[in-house]
Every structure is written in structure tokens, then in C-alpha cells.
Amino acid sequence: MTTSRRQTEGQAEGVATYLQVPHRLDLGPLATPQRVLAIGAHPDDVELAAGATLARWVRHGAATTVLVATDGRGGTWDPALDPAELAARRATEAAAAAHLLGASLVLLAVPDGTLAKARILAWRLAFWIRQCRPDVVLTHDPVHPGRLHPDHRAPGE
């Protein structure tokens, strides 16, 4: 397998950065921050992307907040499903997941699919960053080549 010039210089496909690491990488223990804010575009984004890390940090004493930006009403392919009913169900599921993690939950409830156009999003995120005063913020990578959904890109930016 050959390595392209773009990969060795840090760019592949023009957007994603790849790091070359040795075959065995001993990072040692994962440090636990005191305060964590995990921001996801949709209900379940945070849990799927970082749930295990958050659970570990909570277990070791980190005060953790999960912020969900949208209401999740667009998360189905079923045209017969009522969007308001889906949003309510996903809010309930997000609350249950946060409880299992031992995290606080913030639901901004911006309509699904509109984060890129939500002019107030930056202000609301800044407010919660100031409220939580996190040592670590986890959110979407705004340039990941396979995840260019506008709702994912907006909080990452």
C-alpha cells in the first residue's frame, strides 16, 4: 500500500486531516477533565460518537453536559410518522441516554434540518459554553468528508 503525497502532507480528498501513527501507540491513561460539554446536532449524535468516552469521564468525576441542537423531527424515512411525535420521542430518548450517562441535558430544539440557517445558533452555543465553562468541548468535525450534513457542520463551525 502506498501513501499519497496528500496523505503525508496532512490532506486527503482536500478536506480531512489524517495522522500517521506507529502501529502500536501507547497513549497512557485518558485524562479526565473536570467539566465537559458535548454538542450534537441531533438526538443520539453525541451518544453514538462519544458515549463511551463520556461515560468513562463521568465515572471518574467529570461534570458533563450533553447539548442537542435540533429537535430531531427529520430522523425518519417514514412519511406517515408525525414529525412532532418523533421530536417528542427523540427528546425522551435523549433524556434517558443523558440519565444513563450521568450527564445533564440541554435541548435547544431548533427545527431539524435548519441549523445552518439558524442565525441564533452561535449565540446559544456561546451561552451554554459560558454556563458550563467546560475544559473540553466535543462536537462534530465540520470538514469530515463523509459527514457533510449541514446540521452536523453548523455546530462544528
Which residues does the chain have with pLDDT short of 50?
A: 1-18
Phi and psi for 67 in degrees, rounded to 5?
-110, 125
Per-residue pLDDT at 106? 98
Per-residue pLDDT at 115? 92
Per-residue pLDDT at 27? 64
| Claim: this prediction has a pTM higher than 0.85 | no
Q: Residue 138: which H helix or E strand, with range?
A: strand 136-138
Per-residue pLDDT at 26? 66
Q: Taking a C-beta distance cutoff of 8 angstroms, is the pair 50, 40 a contact?
A: no
The residues, any chain, with a CB within 8 Å of residue 31's CB and separated by 6 or more, are none
Per-residue pLDDT at 12? 41
Per-residue pLDDT at 24? 64
Per-residue pLDDT at 56? 94
Nearest to residue 65, comparing CAs of 93, 96, 98? 98
